[in-house]
Amino acid sequence: MSKASPDNNKAPESLSFQDITAEVGDIRLPVAERSSTEQRQDVREAEIITGGTIIVDEGSISHSSEERISSEALTGSSPKPRPMWMDGLACSMLAALFITPIVLNIGLRSYQPWVSFIAMFLAFGAVLWSLFGLQVEKQPAGRKMCLISAALNLFVTVIAFIVRAPLQ
């Protein structure tokens, strides 16, 4: 009592590019009007020769104001990179967090030289990073914040260097 399912009678579907193109046909995209009839004739000839595939030079197409506005909105909404001084400030806070228990004498004394070395490494690396940010930042406010970040990290480095020796 087995019945043959209707799916077995169908040929297997193929999702290859050639099969889909054969089924759907060429997809026509609107091409902006060119100024001379000669250029339009070249496009028609290229369409016939290449089977409908046209490579369009975007520099020669005049975009409408809506297309220009939408492309400006899309490029303007792309994520901006984080300023370098912000990374420096984050490193200084992390280094200060490591060194605070030792300065306040509330813990981590048994790990003392290593905690200070880690804080010095982190803070001095952030000093170099912030100074490198002076070369990258274009605005005066960004340069000022890079200097502030470098100074703060240098201060944390000096503090970590001072408290690196374990207390007896």
> Is residue 8 in some structural domain?
no
Q: CA 36: distance to chain centroid?
A: 42
Same domain membership, residue 158 and residue 88: yes
Per-residue pLDDT tens digits for 144-166: 999 999 999 999 999 999 988 75
Write down which residue in 76, 103, 118 finishes a domain.
76
Q: Which of 69-83, 103-117, 132-146 has the lowest mean pLDDT?
A: 69-83
Range of the domain at 91: 84-162
Write down which residue in 76, 111, 126 finishes a domain.
76
The pLDDT assigned to 82 comes to 86
Per-residue pLDDT tens digits for 113-147: 888 999 999 999 999 999 999 998 888 999 999 99
Same domain membership, residue 99 and residue 61: no
The pLDDT assigned to 72 comes to 64
Q: What is the dihedral of CA 159, 120, 138, 59, to 10 degrees?
A: -160
Per-residue pLDDT tens digits for 20-63: 777 776 666 665 555 555 555 555 555 555 555 555 555 555 55
Do 103 and 158 meet the contact criterion of CB atoms below 8 Å apart? no
The count of residues in the chain is: 168
| Tokens 């001072």 -> residue | 162
Name the phi and psi angles at 157, rounded to 5: -65, -45
Same domain membership, residue 69 and residue 90: no
pTM of the model: 0.53
Do 82 and 146 meet the contact criterion of CB atoms below 8 Å apart? no
The pLDDT assigned to 40 comes to 57
Write down which residue in 42, 57, 76 finishes a domain.
76
Number of domains in the chain: 2
| Tokens 């703060």 -> residue | 152
Using DSSP, state whether 40 is helix, strand or coil: helix
Do 99 and 153 meet the contact criterion of CB atoms below 8 Å apart? no
Q: How many CB atoms lie within 10 A of CB 130?
A: 28
| Tokens 């799916």 -> residue | 7
Residue 96, pLDDT above cutoff 90: yes
The CA distance from 59 to 61, in Å, is 6
